[in-house]
């Protein structure tokens, strides 16, 4: 049955949304930083701690087996959600940042040498810049940057020119957290593969907005964070092609990632455990599984359609404000409204919006090179989720107009 999307009903699933800030109803538009959690996720975490808290993969006792089952079931849920070929290809990490660092440290240090090249884009988050810079320092590899046009779109011809036989890794953002641009990652992956480079996609801002099919994209690695997908903080996923993960050395050593240890020699556990040293974030994984089930029940297609509608509504409304300039106007865009206003610092805008109960992010959004590209120190960013309403966008626009009048 095709149930119409109803954001008012959806909002009832999120207890945090029903409160006032400085006497005004909370308008939460900082979803790119982190999303709020539905009751069902909060309950899943709480149930784990109140009913079957136990360590996994170790105990023979009942609670440990329950916890292990819940943990491994969540892995299956993730596998299906991103269409990975096997649960062995789903590694739990602390988040996107750790997933990228894992690839840089494990794959990168072994496979790259002096003069090899790593290609990233101008719009990368620091998490997809710094680990590669560190790898370049360690190996003598060189970082190459794909330029963008003013709308915030990658110049594919320039990307093509950067690719060559020395290109070993291409690592690009799927959806820009600062601009909202959706990058053509499937085409970019195919182009990189022509030269034998491996491709990592930073999916931190994509996974919550539309269906991601890692096999369809063809990428070698895909990274995302649970907390941007309505799950707890401190949990994330690295998808990796089995062939590559099998060949890679462990990222960290410790419990659970070994088969046997002696003082002479250690043999490593099979995938995915080889990359999950130590007691993992069990409650986080269980919360992530619950969040994905929740999203699946609503349907990502409905979520995308509704969020696009709110984004278009917001774009039209903010475009009417004369002194406001939207930064990031790509044709293919998702859920982010970044902007500057003549004569008012983004931090002042963020602070005054807060006084009206409106939560946005003001700053460089961990994309300082991108800010430099646009010659701005920072932007104000409203980022949309499916629990936001057009009325909340109206509230944002009218508060912005009030702030502009104050500064006149």
Smaller CB separation from ligand C6P, 68 or 176: 176
Q: How far apart are CA 302 and CA 342, in angstroms?
A: 36
Considering only 13, 24, 25, 33, the residue that binds ligand C6P (CB under 6 A) is: 33
Contact flag: residue 291 with ligand C6P (CB under 6 A): no
**Per-residue x/- marks for ligand C6P, 80-119, CB under 6 A?**
---------------xxx----------------------
Tell me: does residue 333 bind ligand C6P (CB under 6 A). Answer: no
How many residues contact ligand C6P, by CB under 6 A?
Answer: 17
H-state helical runs in 278-382: 282-298, 300-319, 346-355, 368-373
Per CB under 6 A, the segment of 80-88, 121-129, 152-160, 317-325 that binds ligand C6P is 121-129
Stretch touching ligand C6P by CB under 6 A, among 120-128, 249-257, 300-308, 316-324: 120-128
Nearest distance from C-beta of residue 267 to ligand C6P, angstroms:
31
Which one of the spans 124-132, 141-149, 182-190, 385-393 is the region binding ligand C6P (CB under 6 A)? 124-132
378-406 exposure pattern, b = at least 16 Cβ within 10 A, e = fewer: bbbbbbbbbbbbeebbebbbebbeebbee
Place of tokens 């979520």: 303
Contact flag: residue 344 with ligand C6P (CB under 6 A): no
Phi-psi bin for 152: left (phi > 0), alpha (psi -120 to 50), beta? left
The smaller minimum CB distance to ligand C6P, of residues 67 and 91, is found at: 91
336 touches ligand C6P (CB under 6 A): no
Contact of 365 with 381, CB cutoff 8 Å: yes
Residue pair 84/215 in contact by the 8 Å Cβ criterion: yes
**Alpha carbon separation from 184 to 133, 218, 401 (Å, rounded):** 24, 12, 35
CB of 404 to ligand C6P, least distance (A): 24
Cα separation, 152 vs 240, whole angstroms: 28
Contact predicate 203/171, CB 8 Å: no
Tell me how far apart the alpha carbons of residues 175 and 206 are, in angstroms, rounded to a whole number: 5
Rounded-to-5 percentages of helix, strand, coil across the chain: 45, 20, 40
Which residue in 136, 219, 366, 375 is the catalytic one? 366
Assess 399 for contact with ligand C6P (CB under 6 A).
no
CB of 177 to ligand C6P, least distance (A): 3
375 is catalytic: no
Q: Write the DSSP string, 376-388.
A: -S-EEEEE--TT-
- Interface map 360-379 toward ligand C6P (x if CB under 6 A): -x---xx-------------
Q: Which of 104, 109, 77, 111 is nearest to 92 (CA)?
A: 77
**Closer residue to ligand C6P in complex, CB, 67/370:** 370
Distance of alpha carbon 90 from alpha carbon 104, whole angstroms: 17
147-206 residues in contact with ligand C6P (CB under 6 A) are 173, 177, 202, 204-205
125, 144, 241, 273: which one binds ligand C6P (CB under 6 A): 125
CB 406 to ligand C6P: min, Å? 26
Among candidate residues 34, 17, 35, the one with its CA nearest the CA of residue 26: 17
**Known catalytic residues?**
366
Which residues contact ligand C6P by CB under 6 A?
A: 32-33, 95-97, 125, 127-128, 173, 177, 202, 204-205, 225, 361, 365-366
């Amino acid at each position: 049955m095709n149930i119409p999307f109803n954001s008012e009903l959806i909002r009832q699933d999120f207890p945090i949304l029903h409160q006032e800030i400085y006497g005004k109803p909370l308008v939460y538009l900082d979803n790119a930083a982190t999303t709020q959690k539905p009751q069902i996720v909060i309950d899943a975490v709480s149930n784990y701690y109140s009913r079957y808290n136990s360590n996994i993969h170790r105990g023979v006792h009942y609670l440990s087996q329950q916890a292990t089952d819940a943990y491994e079931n969540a892995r299956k849920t993730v596998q299906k959600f991103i269409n990975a070929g096997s649960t062995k290809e789903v590694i739990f990490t602390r988040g996107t940042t750790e997933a990228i660092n894992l690839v840089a440290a494990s794959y990168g240090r072994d496979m790259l040498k002096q003069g090899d090249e790593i290609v990233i884009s101008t719009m990368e988050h620091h998490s997809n810049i710094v680990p590669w810079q560190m790898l370049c320092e360690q190996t003598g590899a060189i970082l190459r940057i794909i330029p963008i046009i003013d709308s915030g779109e990658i110049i594919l011809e320039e990307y093509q020119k950067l690719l060559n036989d020395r290109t070993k890794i291409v690592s690009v953002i799927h959806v820009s957290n600062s601009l909202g641009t959706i990058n053509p990652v499937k085409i970019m992956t195919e182009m990189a593969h022509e030269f034998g480079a491996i491709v990592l996609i930073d999916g931190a801002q994509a996974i919550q907005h539309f269906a991601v099919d890692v096999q369809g994209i063809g990428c070698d690695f895909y990274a995302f964070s649970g907390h941007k997908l309505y799950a707890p903080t401190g949990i994330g996923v690295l998808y990796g092609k089995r062939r590559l993960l099998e060949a890679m050395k462990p990222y960290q050593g410790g419990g659970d990632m070994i088969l046997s240890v002696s003082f002479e020699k250690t043999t490593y556990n099979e995938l995915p455990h080889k990359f999950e040293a130590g007691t993992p974030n069990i409650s986080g994984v269980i919360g992530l599984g619950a969040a994905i089930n929740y999203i699946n029940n609503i349907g990502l297609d409905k979520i995308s359609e509704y969020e696009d509608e709110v984004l278009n509504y917001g774009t039209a409304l903010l475009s009417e404000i004369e002194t406001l300039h939207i930064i990031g106007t790509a044709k293919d865009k998702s859920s982010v409204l970044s902007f500057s206003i003549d004569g008012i610092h983004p931090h002042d805008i963020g602070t005054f919006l807060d006084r009206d109960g409106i939560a946005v992010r003001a700053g460089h959004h961990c994309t300082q090179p991108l800010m430099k590209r646009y010659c701005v120190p920072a932007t104000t960013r409203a980022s949309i989720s499916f629990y936001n309403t057009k009325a909340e966008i109206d509230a944002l626009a009218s508060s912005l107009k009030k702030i502009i009048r104050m500064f006149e």
